[in-house]
Structure 1
Amino acid sequence: MPKKRQLVITRSSRATGGSPGELASMGPMANVLSSLALYNTAPDGSRRNTGMEVLWGPGMVLEIPAGVDEVSQVLATITDDDIALPVLMRACKALGWAMTDVETGRSFG
């Protein structure tokens, strides 16, 4: 089984005009969830007491801290690169988000 890849999704510093490394708001939780729903990514409806909102998408699982008003980052665990990466790249381009590979530190977007 291939190793799972993890990416951190944040608001692109180019989209906000801020300095690199500065975490800007991606928007309110409801807006982030509705934006991700356009890319077939949503919670499965179950209730967990993990402190995280877990979303399932094509070839990926996304985790967002629960109970926050403004989302500043999302952790994506990629289970299938061939399916998930094109979806994430389209979403990030359309929404002004950027992805950073946790292991290598490389950023996209």
Structure 2
Amino acid sequence: MVCPRCGNANPEVAQFCGKCGTALSSRPQPADPPVPKSGVSSEMKVGMIIASIVIPVVGVIMGIVYMNSPDPDRKAAGRTWLLIGVVAFVIYCILSGALNNLMQGNT
């Protein structure tokens, strides 16, 4: 029987691994279910960047939500979205003020 921990070959009747001491079972253990990939998909990243530029509030809200995640990939994506949302909002404010000044000058 092969030890699941260290891979050492042990006699079939052994209850413990002779190398590392791990308990051996005569029944094969079920395989661990696949661990879902954490993080953020690349499609989600691109979509949120576009949404953050078009609607800055979306970037700010999603950035705050994702920055509170313990997953480092989600935190990084959240920082990016938050930054893009804030920058887009500032640019929109500047453009709005400039457009307002142009309109006031024409009347």
TM-score normalised to structure 2 length: 0.22
- The higher relative CO (CA closer than 8 Å, separation ≥ 6) is in 1
Larger radius of gyration: 2
Higher normalized helix content (fraction of residues): 2
Higher normalized strand content (fraction of residues): 1
